[in-house]
Amino acid sequence: MAVKLLNVIFFGKLINKKSRDDCCNTLLVSAVYNMYDPYVLEMNQMDMINSEKTSAMSADLNGKDNIPDENLPGGLKQKLVPKHIAMIVDGNRRWAVQKGLSGMFGHNAGRMILMPLLRLCSKLEIKVVSFFVFSTENWRRPTEEVNFLMKVVEDLLRIDGEVLNSHGCRVSVMGDKSKLSETLQKLSTEIEEKSRTNSGTHIIFAINYSGKHDIIKACKNLANQVKDGVILPNQINENIFAQQLYTNYIDFPCPDLVIRTSGEIRISNFMLWQMAYSKLYFTKKYFPDFGEDDLIEALRAFQRTQ
């Protein structure tokens, strides 16, 4: 009964029954066993807002074909939209501290703005949107924050992933999954497999990702191929090298627009090889404050230089 009630409250008809039951069971179990977990305490306050936002915002996640330019927001031109927007999500903790909250609560606030942004991307028929969610360096943060972040990431894959899948988006995880918990590995494999053939916007979550590691992985693979006589050293070129990178494994184009929030002007080890020709857009807004209007502004700046 409680599960049914939660189903209706949290998800309405957005996702299928089995997944709703899974999600609700998880929430119930968490609520009972983790009463004093800061993540759960904070989630209790924010879940209702989140679920309302998610339902409303995700109702229109499927891109529509051939939208006339006059119907696009901010004078955007359909022909000039980027194929791949990469987002360096930053400023979550500063956003929370500014509001008198514990810094880590900003990560959940960041997760909540995902749907409106993706709804706009879908409407504009942007093929790929990637998010730098968790870097290999982020393990150095305090244990309490890392644990909190991992729970946000679990919800991202379990709940948001399900909503995105049910609206025709493909969801992939990029990074070294071997260091993630079994739950996270399972969630990422499940959502990737479920959504693999979807033709809507492809959402990439970079989790335990490092651009340098991606390049080292490529070098090691090629070195082994040379050792095994599969390839000669002088046959290695940009194309062959790029075939060893995540961009090729998961099959998505290099970003043409990179957006970083929070006023930091750097790329922090995100898709180093793939950003060689990307346009970079920096905004002072903290990520949880980065709304659809800000994304439109970034796209307008991109289109002005096309």
Ligand X SMILES: CC(C)=CCC/C(C)=C/CC/C(C)=C/COP(=O)(O)OP(=O)(O)O
Q: Which residue ranges make up the site for ligand X (CB under 6 A)?
A: 89-94, 107, 110-111, 114, 131, 133, 138, 149, 152-153, 156, 205, 262
What would the two tokens of residue 4 be? 């049914």
90 tagged catalytic: yes
Smallest gap from residue 115 Cβ to ligand X (A)? 10
First to last CA, the chain: 55
Please say which residue, 72 or 146, places its beta carbon nearer to ligand X: 146
Q: Which of 47, 90, 160, 214 is catalytic?
A: 90
Smallest gap from residue 96 Cβ to ligand X (A)? 8
Smallest gap from residue 301 Cβ to ligand X (A)? 20
CA distances from 187 to 155, 181, 274, 281 (A): 10, 10, 26, 32
Contact 267, 86 (CB under 8 A): no
Please say which residue, 156 or 218, places its beta carbon nearer to ligand X: 156
Using the CB atoms, write b or e for 43-72: b if 16+ within 10 Å.
beeebeebbebbbebbeebbbeeeeeeeeb
Please say which residue, 106 or 244, places its beta carbon nearer to ligand X: 106
Contact 244, 230 (CB under 8 A): no
Give backbone dihedrals phi and psi of 115, rounded to 5 degrees, phi first.
-60, -50
Smallest gap from residue 16 Cβ to ligand X (A)? 22
Please say which residue, 27 or 96, places its beta carbon nearer to ligand X: 96
Return the active site residues: 90
